[in-house]
């Protein structure tokens, strides 16, 4: 017991971030933003979206395709031009069948097969007999040349479909729609989900100038004051971070070692895996004997962020079902450490961004966030807000953080409306 506690104390020293460390991270993040804006070498990609903030008056009926990971969503959205909108229809489809019948995310699938499947899903929602503009939220690092042309730089979130990297995803989508005889659907805008979240919040709240996803993946966009353009930072690739041996092990075994280090520390896709790597080490040192037989502990990525949430509230899960209360307490402590570090690192990057946007903290700012961690993980939103406020007393009352649920999809419709003007 004493030995296990020592291990937990050691984990605390590794995963807890001091105020000084967080201040360093925020400053390094701001410097990385400035370097990238000046076209220097930086972990941040700072990709221009070719979009300003919306006026709130955008109106009309649009199709939105939300392609963010292993699920795609197609929505038929009506914008009313007064900050209000309604979703007339929506359809969510996995790109990977849970019974193993198909998998459009694997390296054995081609870009054409993937986009043919997506076009088929769009066809099931489109209003018949009418021309309609489509906004596409494509939530992967993409170099844009115009509002409607985006080239995938690299897959993230462990997607591996062959032949999409370096290709124009709008061309791929347009060709697939044509193949399905869906020629009345016109892809006109492509955006990142962080930009979509920012647009959706800004449609009703003019103080919004930061949009972020804290979910399966992680990334942040903001309104660059010098150009009034929304910029997708691809902040998940930020790498000036105090990494633990578990982060290094996760990274080494990932699809792209060395890439997306911030995302690997903070995003839902990875938090369960970090917990599993810690637990494995403890099991192998004989410290968690009851977990020896637990099959999830041996399977990479078998532990999910949802499981972490259940551990935090200590409700029975498959993972802790047969455990003693001592072991449950330990798992809960580890889950809380991982959640808190994720929120702290994210808050540090927000503070870095705010210091660039408004160095003297004079104006009001709203940070719009979408994603399962922020929405659902117990204590996550509170830890994020508290950490951000603790950076600087001047932020209180000036900076707000809130959930913009479904912002990535609605944002695609708003982008299509801006593009169609
Ligand atoms: C992608 C970003 C995206 C984020 C959230 C990351 O893996 O690189 O483009 O915004 O996930 O979905």
Probe target for ligand 1 pocket from 46, 192, 265, with the most ligand atoms within 8 Å of CB: 192
**Higher-confidence position of 372 and 322:** 372
26-85 residue pLDDT tens: 999 999 999 999 999 999 999 999 999 999 999 999 999 999 988 999 999 999 999 899
Any idea which of 108-112, 271-275, 329-333, 376-380 has the lowest mean pLDDT? Answer: 329-333
Buried residues in 216-254 as b, exposed as e (16+ CB within 10 A): bbbbbbbbbeeeeebbbbbbbbbbebeebebbebbbeeb
Q: Which atom of ligand 1 is nearest to the CA of 156?
A: 7
pLDDT the model gives residue 157? 82
Ligand 1 centroid to residue 20 C-alpha, Å: 28
Residue 144: pLDDT band with limits 50, 70, 90? very high
Arithmetic mean of pLDDT, 386-412: 95
Ligand 1 contacts CB of residue 374 (under 6 A): no
Ligand 1 proximity of 156 Cβ (cutoff 6 Å): yes
324 has a pLDDT exceeding 80: no
Decide whether any atom of ligand 1 lies within 6 Å of the 217 Cβ. yes
Mean pLDDT (whole number) for 292-301: 87
Q: Is 263 in the pocket of ligand 1 (CB under 6 A)?
A: yes
Overall average pLDDT of the 390-411 stretch: 95
Residue 128 pLDDT > 70: yes
Q: What does residue 34 show for φ and ψ, rounded to 5 degrees?
A: -65, -45
Select the more confidently predicted residue: 190 or 396: 190
Cβ(157) to ligand 1 under 6 A?
yes
Helices (H) and strands (E) in the chain, counts: 13, 13
Residue with tokens 């804290």: 214
Dist. CA 218 → ligand 1 center (Å): 5
Report pLDDT for 321. Answer: 67
Q: Across residues 148-163, what is the average pLDDT?
A: 94
Best mutation site among 158, 234, 235 for ligand 1, i.e. most ligand atoms within 8 A of its Cβ?
234
Verify whether ligand 1 is closer than 6 Å to residue 407 (CB atom). Answer: no
Cα–ligand 1 centroid distance for 72 (angstroms):
14
Element of type H or E holding 142: strand 142-146
Average pLDDT over residues 395-405: 95
Give me the pLDDT at residue 4, please. Answer: 63
Given a cut of 70, whether residue 291 has pLDDT beyond it is yes
- Between 419 and 287, name the one with better pLDDT: 419
Computed over its alpha carbons, how large is the radius of gyration of the chain? Answer: 22
| CA of residue 159 to ligand 1 center, whole Å | 11
pLDDT at position 2: 62
């Amino acid at each position: 017991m004493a030995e296990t506690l020592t291990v937990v104390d050691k984990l605390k020293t590794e995963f807890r971030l001091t105020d000084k460390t967080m201040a360093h991270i925020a400053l390094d993040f701001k410097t990385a933003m400035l370097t990238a804006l000046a076209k220097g070498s930086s972990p941040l990609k700072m990709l221009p979206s070719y979009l300003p903030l919306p006026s709130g008056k955008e109106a009309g009926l649009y199709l939105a395709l939300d392609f963010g990971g292993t699920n795609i969503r197609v929505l038929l959205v009506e914008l009313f031009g007064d900050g209000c909108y309604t979703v007339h229809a929506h359809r969510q489809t996995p790109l990977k069948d849970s019974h193993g019948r198909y998998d459009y995310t694997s390296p054995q699938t081609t870009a054409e097969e993937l986009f043919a499947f997506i076009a088929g899903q769009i066809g099931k929602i489109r209003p018949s007999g009418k021309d309609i503009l489509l906004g596409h939220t494509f939530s992967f690092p993409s170099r844009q040349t115009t509002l409607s042309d985006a080239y995938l730089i690299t897959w993230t979130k462990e997607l591996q479909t062959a032949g999409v990297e370096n290709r124009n995803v709008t061309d791929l989508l347009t060709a697939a729609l044509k193949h399905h005889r869906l020629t009345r659907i016109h892809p006109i805008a492509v955006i990142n989900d962080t930009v979509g979240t920012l647009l959706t919040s800004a449609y009703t709240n003019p103080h919004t100038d930061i949009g972020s996803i804290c979910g399966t993946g992680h990334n942040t966009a903001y309104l660059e004051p010098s150009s009034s353009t929304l910029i997708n930072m691809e902040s998940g690739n930020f790498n000036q971070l105090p990494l633990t041996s578990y982060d290094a092990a996760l990274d080494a075994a990932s699809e792209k070692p060395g890439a997306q280090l911030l995302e690997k520390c903070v995003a839902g896709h990875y938090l369960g895996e970090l917990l599993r790597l810690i637990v494995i080490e403890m099991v192998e040192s004989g410290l968690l004997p009851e977990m020896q037989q637990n099959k999830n502990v041996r399977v990479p990525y078998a532990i999910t962020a949802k499981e972490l949430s259940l551990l935090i509230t200590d409700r029975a899960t498959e993972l802790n079902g047969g455990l003693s209360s001592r072991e449950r307490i330990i798992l809960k402590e580890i889950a809380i450490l991982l959640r808190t570090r994720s929120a702290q690192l994210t808050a540090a990057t927000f503070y870095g961004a705010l210091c660039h946007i408004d160095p003297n903290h004079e104006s009001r700012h709203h940070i719009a966030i979408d994603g399962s961690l922020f929405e659902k993980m117990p204590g996550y939103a509170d830890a994020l807000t508290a950490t951000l406020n603790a950076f600087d007393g001047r932020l209180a009352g000036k900076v707000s953080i809130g959930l913009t649920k479904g912002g990535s999809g609605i944002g695609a419709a708003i982008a299509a409306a801006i593009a169609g003007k």
